[in-house]
Amino acid sequence: MKIGVFATEIIRKIYGKSLDEAGPLMRDFIKKTFKVLNELKLDCTEFSVKLDTLEKLCKITREVSNITLLLHEPGGECSAANLSYLDSEERKHVLEKLKATVDYAAAGGFTVVTVHPASYNPRAPGYAYSDVHYKYLEPREAWETSIKYLKYLANYASRKGVLLGLENMPTAVCIKGKVLKTPHFGKDCEELLKILSVVNSESLKITLDTGHANTVCQPADYIEELVDRVIHIHIHDNDGRYDQHAPLGTGIIDFNRFFKILRENNYSNTIVVERKIDEFTLSDIEKIKQWWRAPKSIYLNKFKEA
Ligand SMILES: [Mn+2]
């Protein structure tokens, strides 16, 4: 298993700004970031940048050889969450942006592009992002339409040699102190697997987000159902109510059991801490290594049982 942190968070920590704001200093920012990743003995990293930044970034990352590169889809208008836009012209525009993302990923040596499942107009109260619901199709049409586009995108990614990791979504978010339901597909494992089965492409796999899964059930129970499809993991913790990106071990996730399942299934892909870089970062990395190795107590208990 390859362990990493977000490169774009390292940049934010060191320079106090995003990679999108690097301007002519981009190459310096990247060089420094890879030096830090090497010093931390990490083997993978993920970038989350705007599309025009990615265009420049991919020319720099293609020179990197010792670290596995992951890419998060550019947010905003470029997100696969918008493949369910009501306006077909806007939808096609989103698809074009996603195709460009795949092109740059291939050029830059990124192995996986994490994409979000489609959003929809819930036409019901209690949902987040109500100011933009009108831009989306209602659930049934949103499903049909986004699946069609995802099939196209997966096929495109396949030709470019890039894998798409469809990320499981949280059931709730907290906005200005209010806990609201989320209007998108792919929250529980049944629905996520359903998307994979109807798209039916070897290039569409899963990016498993532990914090998102924890708003549904214990992430160990979640991953047990689909571990063979997981090509990348976002790891962070929370109290089970909504996405919090908390330090590992400070929430309610049973990581010992989560990593036990990864071990038992010989998980050999990537795992990235999806948190800002702070005083907990080193312990987050250390904890992953411990959980992955399995705590000594497990072996001791087994020894006692024998
Ligand atoms: Mn995530």
212 CA to centre of ligand 1 in angstroms: 7
Residues 228 and 191: their CA atoms lie apart, in Å, by 16
Between the alpha carbon of residue 161 and those of residues 169, 204, 303, the distances in Å are 25, 12, 46
Q: What is the pLDDT of residue 88?
A: 97
pLDDT tens-digit readout, 106-136: 999 999 999 999 999 999 999 999 999 999 9
∠ Cα 59 17 2 (to 5°): 55
14 CA to centre of ligand 1 in angstroms: 22
3 CA to centre of ligand 1 in angstroms: 15
Q: What is the pLDDT of residue 295?
A: 55
CATH number for position 98: 3.20.20.150
71 CA to centre of ligand 1 in angstroms: 11
Mean local confidence (pLDDT), 179-192: 97
Domain interval for residue 115: 2-305
Q: What is the pLDDT of residue 305?
A: 55
305 CA to centre of ligand 1 in angstroms: 39
24 CA to centre of ligand 1 in angstroms: 29
E-assigned strand segments in 202-256: 204-209, 230-235
**Residue 116 DSSP SS3:** coil
- CB atoms closer than 10 angstroms to residue 113: 27
pTM for the predicted model, two decimal places? 0.95
219 CA to centre of ligand 1 in angstroms: 13
297 CA to centre of ligand 1 in angstroms: 31
Half-sphere exposure at residue 247, Cβ-oriented, CA atoms within 13 angstroms: 12
Mean local confidence (pLDDT), 243-256: 97
pLDDT higher than 80, residue 296 = no
The mean predicted confidence, pLDDT, of the chain is: 95
Given a contact cutoff of 8 angstroms between Cβ atoms, the answer to whether 236 and 274 are in contact is yes
Domain count for the chain: 1
Residues 118 and 95: their CA atoms lie apart, in Å, by 12
Closest CA to 157 of 115, 102, 196: 102
pLDDT tens-digit readout, 34-72: 999 999 999 999 999 999 999 999 999 998 878 999 999
Q: What is the pLDDT of residue 99?
A: 98
Mean local confidence (pLDDT), 173-183: 95
Mean local confidence (pLDDT), 269-296: 93
49 CA to centre of ligand 1 in angstroms: 14
For residue 31, give every residue at least 6 positions away whose Cβ sits within 8 Å of its Cβ, in sequence order, or none.
none
167 CA to centre of ligand 1 in angstroms: 7
